[in-house]
């Protein structure tokens, strides 16, 4: 999510939502910061290699084992900040450079992106049913208009 949330415009940045639709765990924040600060493809590859213990990067390449597997997908949303277009373009380029598919969700709120990520990944599960989430951002909104009788 490209957003400044409640911060001034100049603090616009990227929030990362984990695959379940929850906020990124705090222990991964330094890694996300290192990745966000890369200024070249070479630097990005170096940081990713260190993260993986200098093992080869698992970048998707066409092979007999990957031809029938869908590419990983990353949803990208943004807010109304003037810098959003530049940051979305950078996020999209990074996602695609890693062999993943970028899906632009347009101008959405952070809770909407949480919901989209949660339900998009839940649809990929064998049961096709979202797992319960304690996070109110990913709670099904179908009950939002139901009111108790007056």
Q: Is 65 a catalytic residue?
A: no
Which residue of the set 5, 49, 131, 141 is catalytic? Answer: 5
Q: What is the DSSP string of 76-138?
A: EEE-S-TTHHHHHHHHHHHHHHTTPEEEEEEE--HHHHHHHHHHHHHTTSTT--PPP-S-GGG
Which secondary-structure segment (H or E) carries 75?
strand 73-78
Let me know the angle formed at the C-alpha of 80 by 75 and 85, rounded to the nearest 5 degrees.
Answer: 60
Cβ-proximal residues to 138 (8 Å cutoff; 6+ apart), any chain:
20, 21, 22, 114, 115, 117, 118, 119, 130
Which residues are the active-site residues?
A: 5
């Amino acid at each position: 999510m490209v957003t400044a949330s409640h911060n001034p415009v100049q603090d616009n940045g990227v929030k990362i939502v984990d695959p379940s639709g929850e906020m990124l765990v705090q222990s991964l924040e330094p890694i996300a910061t290192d990745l966000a600060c890369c200024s070249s493809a070479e630097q990005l590859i170096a940081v990713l290699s260190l993260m993986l213990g200098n093992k080869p990067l698992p970048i998707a390449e066409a092979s007999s084992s990957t031809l029938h597997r869908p590419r990983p997908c990353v949803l990208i949303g943004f807010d109304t900040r003037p810098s959003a277009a530049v940051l979305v373009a950078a996020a999209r380029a990074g996602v695609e450079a890693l062999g993943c598919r970028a899906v632009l969700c347009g101008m959405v709120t952070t809770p909407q992106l949480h919901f989209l990520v949660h339900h998009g990944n839940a649809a990929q599960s064998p049961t096709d049913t979202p797992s319960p989430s304690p996070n109110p951002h990913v709670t099904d909104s179908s009950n939002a208009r139901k009111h108790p009788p007056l």
